[in-house]
A and B are shown apart, each in its own frame.
Chain A
Amino acid sequence: QKEVEQNSGPLSVPEGAIASLNCTYSDRVSQSFFWYRQYSGKSPELIMSIYSNGDKEDGRFTAQLNKASQYVSLLIRDSQPSDSATYLCAVKESSYKLIFGSGTRLLVRP
């Protein structure tokens, strides 16, 4: 069974620090990877997608993909208390389906 693994956390970082969130996946042929942010009581919100090896930057967010090692990470620079949320990693399984990890809870301390 294809799996996406994340540390449940919480990951606690001080305000202004870099938060590093990691995700590993089991399916070697996966090609598309996504990070969603979910605030408590709210729905998941897509914040990053990455399709090729290397880094992809968008504002304070950087997604990193290493297909050989089967991991994808999300770096959040200059973390803010408003970044406190659960971050879900998702991997595209087929043309239509995503497999989600169970999420990492991030807590940014003021």
Chain B
Amino acid sequence: NAGVTQTPKFQVLKTGQSMTLQCAQDMNHNSMYWYRQDPGMGLRLIYYSASEGTTDKGEVPNGYNVSRLNKREFSLRLESAAPSQTSVYFCASNQGSEQYFGPGTRLTVT
């Protein structure tokens, strides 16, 4: 089992460009999450999907959209990137209480 996988690992965007971060899990988990992590601020929830076909906003959803493509895949889209979106993005999944994280995507917006 690969667990939770994310692509790409690194990305540099110019302000205004768009991109989609991909996430997939092979643990048959119902719920999936997108977080961002900035220095000194811990993990902040952007969006989550409690089950296939549903998505909900988290703490910091502005500037992002998500798609729960199927039970395995949950993507995060930045339509018009801004320097404030420079961060490390983690995808996670869980069944029950315990969440498991992907390796992360380091995004820089110049």
Which residues from chain A sit less than 8 Å from chain B, CB to CB?
8, 32, 34, 42-46, 49, 88, 90, 92, 95-98, 100-103
Contact = CB atoms under 8 A, between A and B. Distances in A.
B91 to A, nearest CB: 9
B97 A97 contact: no
B86 to A, nearest CB: 16
B97 A32 contact: yes
A43 B45 CA distance: 15
Contacts of B58: 97
Interface in B87-110: 90, 97-104
A42 B48 contact: no
A90 to B, nearest CB: 8
B48 A97 contact: yes
B48 A96 contact: yes
Interface of B: 31, 40-45, 48, 50, 58, 90, 97-104
Given A43-B103, A97-B48, A34 B98 contact: yes
Given A97-B58, A100-B42, A102-B42, A43 B97 contact: no
B43 A95 contact: no
Contact of A49 (B42, B50, B90, B98): B98
B23 to A, nearest CB: 12
Contact of B40 (A49, A90, A102): A102
B30 to A, nearest CB: 9
B101 A97 contact: no
A103 to B, nearest CB: 6
B90 A44 contact: yes
